[in-house]
């Protein structure tokens, strides 16, 4: 495969194609969320009842995008926004029981996607590849942070 496009373009293509496959798999399991919403829920499975600011940092989503996704997830019954005890203007995001039951199915779909991604890869290749991706992510975060000044 010579003359491949630049890395960023390839990452974008992988992201879009992987998202389409992931969405089909979610639909097959009757999971009514999209991959981007799954990113939010994945964070909440690790730590429920967190602020919108913390959720935005952990998902790398802008607050306006995150807010509209939270609106849809809340309307579908997956989460609740509860005011904090200390400041009624601030809210914590909390999973509902309805959604907690979907976690195992979602993990199963995620595991299937991991198998597709890494088909015919050796463990050392996976580790090296993920290390490179982490370095790219750090570079992008550093750039974004420096660009805010």
**Gap between the Cα atoms of 94 and 45, Å rounded:** 10
Looking at residues 136-149, what average pLDDT do you find? 86
Which residue ranges make up each domain of the chain?
9-117, 121-149
Looking at residues 63-81, what average pLDDT do you find? 90
pLDDT at 86 over 90: no
Confidence at residue 113, expressed as pLDDT on a 0 to 100 scale: 94
Q: What's the token pair of residue 126?
A: 């996976």
CA quadruple 110, 112, 117, 118: dihedral positive or negative?
A: positive
**Gap between the Cα atoms of 37 and 26, Å rounded:** 12
CATH 3.30.70.1060 fits 9-117, yes or no: no
- The 10s digit of each residue's pLDDT in 35-60 is 788 889 889 988 888 988 899 988 88
């Amino acid at each position: 495969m010579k003359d491949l496009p630049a890395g960023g373009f390839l990452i974008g293509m992988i992201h879009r194609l992987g998202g389409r496959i992931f969405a089909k798999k979610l639909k097959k399991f009757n999971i009514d969320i999209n991959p981007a919403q799954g990113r939010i829920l994945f964070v909440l499975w690790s730590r429920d009842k967190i602020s919108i600011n913390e959720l935005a940092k952990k998902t790398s989503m802008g607050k306006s995008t995150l807010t509209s996704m939270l609106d849809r997830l809340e309307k579908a019954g997956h989460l609740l926004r509860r005011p904090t005890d200390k400041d009624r203007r601030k809210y914590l995001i909390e999973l509902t029981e309805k959604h907690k039951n979907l976690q195992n199915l979602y993990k199963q779909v995620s595991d299937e996607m991991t198998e597709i991604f890494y088909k015919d890869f050796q463990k050392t290749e996976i580790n090296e590849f993920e290390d490179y991706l982490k370095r790219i992510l750090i570079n992008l975060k550093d750039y974004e942070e420096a660009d805010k000044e």
